[in-house]
């Protein structure tokens, strides 16, 4: 397949196949390479009826010296275990998780975009309950799957400022629910408010905390980060948001840049404390936000043409490590 590497969107493209490993009779089997993009499962499979479905997202990069590397797969393996625990699922070990990711990349090595194109290979590890169940209970069998696809920027304009809308009519997750878990259901719950936001002209929405609707929770696709004029990097400390691997990495890089990292509740009414705001996650890395609309108030950050200097520095610092342009001082890259 001939691909225009520099003009890839963030969408599924067919590849050679995926890796699958099944949990049956109380143990994980052998990982196998599957060429068919279709799964065969029972019509009463637990994941279809009771939502035992979780996933992860990470990327593989081709570096300046033509190595192919995964970015922090151990953190994704750890987060999948936490998600699985919340949903009473049997998670793969870290070793199985990382090995399956490696195999998936190796089997699709020609789909890892060339260095310098700005594209990457996106990996989607998926864990689903497969036992045929009618009564509500945890599945006794599971399939762990790693599919891959080459991708470009999550938003068509890439690292470019957008406007966001605070969404108070819908909650992403319940106060003591599954917000910290990367479950399929959480994303299903975000579809309608996301559509409402897009119809109003906003490509991204910002959820409030589900208990009081007074504090920042997270964007519809990613974590919230804010930079103050005092040199602070702030991100919400909330029990209902997903713990982002990208955010965690940016916090470490922010500390390297001399910023004071603070994880604390952020009031919606105090959004004017920031000079820069971004949405961060695996897909987009950082999406700069130049305006947040909250009721009859509009909080503005910089201008609509380019990101602020601190977000630029953080974005460049992270991508430089991922593509092998800078020293990987934290040993985040895992060779394929």
- The string of pLDDT tens digits covering residues 245-293 is 999 999 999 999 999 999 999 999 999 999 999 999 998 899 999 999 9
The model's pTM: 0.95
| pLDDT for residue 186 | 93
In the block, residue with structure tokens 């119809």? 199
Strands 204-208 and 162-167: parallel
DSSP E strands in the chain: the ranges are: 18-24, 27-28, 32-34, 53-55, 58-62, 68-71, 120-129, 142-151, 162-167, 204-208, 216-219, 223-228, 232-235, 260-263, 274-281, 285-294, 297-300, 333-335
Structure tokens at 117: 């194109």
| pLDDT for residue 12 | 95
Work out the percent of the chain whose per-residue pLDDT is above 90: 92
Question: Which residues make Cβ contacts (< 8 Å) with residue 40, sequence separation at least 6?
Answer: none
CA distance 269 to 302: 19
| pLDDT for residue 45 | 98
**At 29, is the pLDDT very low, low, confident or very high (cuts 50, 70, 90)?**
very high
pLDDT exceeds cutoff 80 at 155: no
CA distance 223 to 281: 7
pLDDT exceeds cutoff 70 at 1: no
| pLDDT for residue 284 | 87
**Per-residue model confidence as pLDDT tens digits over 102-114:** 999 999 999 999 9
| pLDDT for residue 158 | 74
pLDDT exceeds cutoff 80 at 132: yes
In the block, residue with structure tokens 């790693």? 146
- Whether the Cβ atoms of residue 211 and residue 175 lie closer than 8 Å to each other: yes
Decide: helix, strand or coil at residue 189. Answer: helix
Q: CA 45, 49, 55 angle in degrees (round to 5)?
A: 80
Structure tokens at 320: 């430089």
Structure tokens at 148: 């891959």
pLDDT exceeds cutoff 90 at 154: no
CA distance 266 to 305: 26
CA-to-CA dists, residue 38 to 14, 17, 18, 105, angstroms: 12, 10, 10, 19
**At 153, is the pLDDT very low, low, confident or very high (cuts 50, 70, 90)?**
confident
CA distance 205 to 163: 9
pLDDT exceeds cutoff 90 at 312: yes
The single-letter DSSP state of residue 37 is S
What mean pLDDT value characterizes the chain?
96
Least confident span in 6-10, 44-48, 52-56, 228-232: 6-10
The predicted model gives 215-219 an average pLDDT of 96
The predicted model gives 148-171 an average pLDDT of 90
């Amino acid at each position: 397949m001939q691909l225009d590497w520099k003009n890839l969107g963030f969408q599924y493209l067919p590849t050679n196949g995926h890796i699958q490993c099944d949990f049956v009779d109380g143990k994980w089997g052998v990982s196998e390479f599957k060429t068919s993009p279709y799964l065969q499962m029972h019509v009463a499979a637990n994941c279809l009826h009771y939502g035992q479905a979780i996933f992860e997202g990470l990327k593989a990069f081709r570096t300046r010296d033509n190595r192919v590397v995964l970015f922090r797969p151990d953190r994704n393996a750890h987060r999948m275990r936490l998600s699985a625990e919340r949903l009473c699922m049997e998670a793969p070990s870290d070793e199985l998780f990382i090995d399956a990711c490696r195999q998936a990349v190796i089997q699709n090595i020609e789909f890892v975009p060339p260095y310098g194109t700005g594209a990457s290979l996106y990996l989607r590890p998926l864990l689903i309950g497969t036992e045929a169940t009618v009564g509500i209970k945890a599945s006794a069998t599971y399939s762990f799957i790693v599919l891959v696809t080459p991708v470009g920027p999550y938003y068509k304009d890439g690292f470019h400022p957008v406007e966001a809308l605070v969404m108070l009519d819908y909650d992403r997750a319940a106060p003591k629910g599954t917000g910290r878990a990367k479950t399929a259901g959480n994303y299903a719950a975000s579809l309608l408010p996301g559509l409402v936001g897009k119809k109003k002209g906003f490509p991204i929405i910002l959820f409030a905390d589900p208990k009081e609707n007074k504090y920042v929770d997270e964007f519809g696709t990613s974590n919230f980060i804010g930079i103050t004029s005092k040199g602070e990097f702030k991100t919400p400390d909330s029990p209902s948001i997903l713990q982002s691997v990208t955010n965690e990495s940016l916090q470490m890089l922010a500390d390297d840049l001399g910023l004071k990292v603070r994880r604390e509740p952020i009031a919606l009414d105090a959004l004017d404390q920031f000079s820069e705001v971004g949405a961060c996650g695996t897909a987009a890395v950082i999406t700069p936000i130049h305006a947040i609309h909250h009721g009859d108030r509009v909080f503005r950050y910089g201008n609509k043409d380019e990101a602020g200097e601190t977000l630029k520095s953080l974005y460049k610092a992270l991508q430089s490590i991922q593509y092998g342009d800078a020293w990987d001082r934290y040993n985040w890259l895992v060779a394929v």
